[in-house]
Structure 1
Amino acid sequence: MRSFPENTSNYEELAPDIITDAKELRRIERLMDRSRRTTNPNNFNPNGTIKRGCKWAFSKRYKKLCAKRKNIHRKVASKRKQEHEKLVNHILTLGSDIRIRFQSLQRKTKETTRNKKNGKINAKKRFGRSIAHRAPAMLVTMIERKLSYQERPLNKIDTYSKPV
């Protein structure tokens, strides 16, 4: 994120205070998988993959773990929204003319690239987690919403027709 008050600029990370406990989430998901496998042993093929069309039974332990996982995601989403609201309020205090050069990063997560030497497909870690945790489109929507309250336009700079 870049802002320009009085011929200065700065970059700010979106939602810097968000800390996702990835270890805890992985641990809960492993526990959920083990619980699901022990409760429904007939729903899996011999190689460990899931059979199609089987009815699932969920234990109380699985449901508790599911609620715990859901609660962690809820807290992270709430914190992200709170951080974005603070940043939007700060941006609106900087000036009345707000311009955004928004590049769709979601498309980048789906692009596949190939290794030039051997032609193999490269690893697919392309901004997916970063976009999910930082939510740049959510920030833009919040800015648009708050500007509409003041009846001010949000100027979007077209990145395709104009050179940067």
Structure 2
Amino acid sequence: MNEEYELATFAGGCFWCMVKPFDEQPGIKSIISGYTGGHVENPTYEQVCSDTTGHYEAVQITYDPKVFPYEKLLEIFWQQIDPTDPTGQFHDRGHSYRTAIFYHNPTQKELAEESKKALEESGRFNKPIVTPILPAKPFYPAEEYHQYYYKKNPAHYERYHIGSGRAGFIQKHWGNNK
């Protein structure tokens, strides 16, 4: 990886919905949908969905921190999820659909903790913020058909984004519908 780029890894429920908000931002080199946080090497989608691997569905973002700082990535992340739900996201339930921030260095950990504290203190949510901040673990890219799903299958993606409850939640809590 180019020395000027860094990695950011976020689990926000279904990884299909976690690519579009970050895509095409300045300084974002790539976004890979995949699996992390578990104990099975090179898991398949079916294995991860069985909730036996310990993995989260996640996105790994390669970005230029001089152009798009980590704090901005955190801001976008928080606006895509329900950070108060410990059992999944929207209509998707189970371990693989839980939220997490996976930090790659001490600075990311500190910034993630600061952003979580700020969100807790904001009063935006009436329940505790439960999204954990965890050390990054090996990341395994998902199958090709999952990559940039919103571009490959735009109609299905939009139906899912709305039907899962994610779009309405974002609109209610953040006033946008990215």
Same fold at TM > 0.5: no
Larger fraction in helix: 1
Larger fraction in strand: 2
TM superposition score normalised by structure 2? 0.27
Higher relative contact order (CA 8 A, sep 6+): 2
TM superposition score normalised by structure 1? 0.29
Structure number with bigger Rg: 1
